Structure 1
Amino acid sequence: MKKPSLRPVLTAVAAATCLLPMALQAQTTLQAPGGRLGESAAQPAGQSMGTPMGESMAVPMVVPMSPAQAISQPYSPVSSGADQREGIQFRAMAGVERDDNVLRTNGGEISDTITGLGLGLRYQKRVSRQQFVVDAEVNHFNFDKIGVDYNTLNYSAAWQWAAGERFEGILSADRRQFRDVTSNGVAAGIDRRTERNELFEGGYKLGASWRVLGGLQHNASRSSDPAAWDANLSQNSVRVGVAYEPATGSSLALRFRRGDGDYDNAPVASDFDDNEIEASMRWIVSPKTRVDARLGHLEREHSGAPTRDFSGVVGSVGVNWDITGKTSLTAGYARDLGSYLFGTGGHLSSDRWFVGPTWRATDLITVNLRYEHETRHWEDVTGSLDVGRKDKFNVGTLGVEWAVRRSVTLGAQYRHERRSSSLPVFNYRANVIGLTAKLTI
Structure 2
Amino acid sequence: MSYHFQQNFQKPSFTHIFLYCVCPLFFFCKLTYADEFDSLQYSASANHAWDSNLFRSSNNETSDQITTYKAGVRFDKKYSLQHFVIDVNYVDYKYQKSDFLNFDAINYSAAWQWALSPALTGTISTRKNKSLLGFADFRTLIQNIRTDEYNIFRAEYSPYKVWSLIVGFTDTSLKNSQTFNAQNDYDATAFDYGVRYNFVSGTSFTMLGHKRNGNFKRSLNASNIALSFDNGFNEDEFEVDVLFKASAKSNLSSKLAYLSREYDNFSVRDYDAWLGNLKYDLLLTGKLKTSMDLSRAVGTFETQYSTYSITDAVNIGATYFYSDKVILGLNARLSQRDFDGRVNPAFPNRVDHEQSINGALTWQPLRNIGLTLSSIKSSRNANSGYDAFDFDDVTTSVTVDLKI
Give the shorter-chain TM-score range: 0.7 to 0.9
Structure 1 residue 84 displacement after superposition: 6.9
For 2:379, the equivalent position in structure 1 comes to 418
State the percentage of identical aligned residues.
22
SS of 1:362's equivalent?
Answer: coil
Change (3 A) 1:385 1:362: farther
What whole-Å deviation, never above 9, does each CA across 1:315-368 have from its counterpart, x for those lacking one? 112222222221112221221223343328643211122112111112211111
What whole-Å deviation, never above 9, does each CA across 1:188-241 have from its counterpart, x for those lacking one? 344322212221111112534011111101111122222355141211000111
Which of residues 260, 275, 292 in structure 1 aligns to 2:253?
Answer: 292
| Contact 1:269–1:341 under 8 Å retained in 2 | no
Is the aligned partner of 1:162 residue 2:123?
no
Which sections of structure 1, spanning at least 5 residues, go unmatched? Answer: 1-44, 47-82
For 1:355, the equivalent position in structure 2 comes to 316
Change (3 A) 1:385 1:112: farther
Change (3 A) 1:288 1:103: same
What whole-Å deviation, never above 9, does each CA across 1:142-188 have from its counterpart, x for those lacking one? 11111121113322322222112421111122223222123689753
SS of 1:105's equivalent?
Answer: coil
Which sections of structure 2, spanning at least 5 residues, go unmatched? Answer: 1-19, 22-34, 222-228
AA aligned to 1:178 is S
For 1:119, the equivalent position in structure 2 comes to 71
Q: How does 1:294-333 map to 2 (within 5 A)?
A: 294-333=255-294
Change (3 A) 1:186 1:435: closer
AA aligned to 1:305 is F
For 1:134, the equivalent position in structure 2 comes to 86
For 1:406, the equivalent position in structure 2 comes to 367
Separation in 2, partners of 1:229, 1:404: 45
Change (3 A) 1:365 1:234: same
Is the aligned partner of 1:85 residue 2:37?
yes
Q: Which moved more, 1:290-299 or 1:155-164?
A: 155-164
Q: How does 1:4-15 map to 2 (within 5 A)?
A: none
For 1:276, the equivalent position in structure 2 comes to 237
Separation in 2, partners of 1:370, 1:119: 28
For 2:300, the equivalent position in structure 1 comes to 339
Structure 1 residue 259 displacement after superposition: 0.5
* Greater RCO (Cα-Cα under 8 Å, separation 6 or more): 1
| Contact 1:118–1:137 under 8 Å retained in 2 | yes
Q: How does 1:154-193 map to 2 (within 5 A)?
A: 154-182=107-135, 187-193=140-146
SS of 1:90's equivalent?
Answer: strand
Is the aligned partner of 1:194 residue 2:157?
no
For 1:204, the equivalent position in structure 2 comes to 157
Change (3 A) 1:205 1:183: closer
| Contact 1:182–1:190 under 8 Å retained in 2 | no
Separation in 1, partners of 2:345, 2:389: 16
Is the aligned partner of 1:220 residue 2:173?
yes
For 1:150, the equivalent position in structure 2 comes to 103
SS of 2:144's equivalent?
Answer: strand
How many residue pairs match? The answer is 361
AA aligned to 1:131 is H
Rg larger in structure:
2
| Contact 2:138–2:180 under 8 Å retained in 1 | no
AA aligned to 1:87 is S
| Contact 1:185–1:425 under 8 Å retained in 2 | no
AA aligned to 1:258 is K
For 1:436, the equivalent position in structure 2 comes to 399
Is the aligned partner of 1:396 residue 2:348?
no
Q: Which moved more, 1:98-107 or 1:241-250?
A: 241-250
Higher helix share: 2
Which of residues 335, 340, 343 in structure 2 aligns to 1:382?
Answer: 343
| Contact 2:305–2:339 under 8 Å retained in 1 | no
Change (3 A) 1:174 1:431: same
The two structures have a TM-score, normalised by structure 1, of 0.77
Which of residues 53, 61, 68 in structure 2 aligns to 1:109?
Answer: 61
The two structures have a TM-score, normalised by structure 2, of 0.83
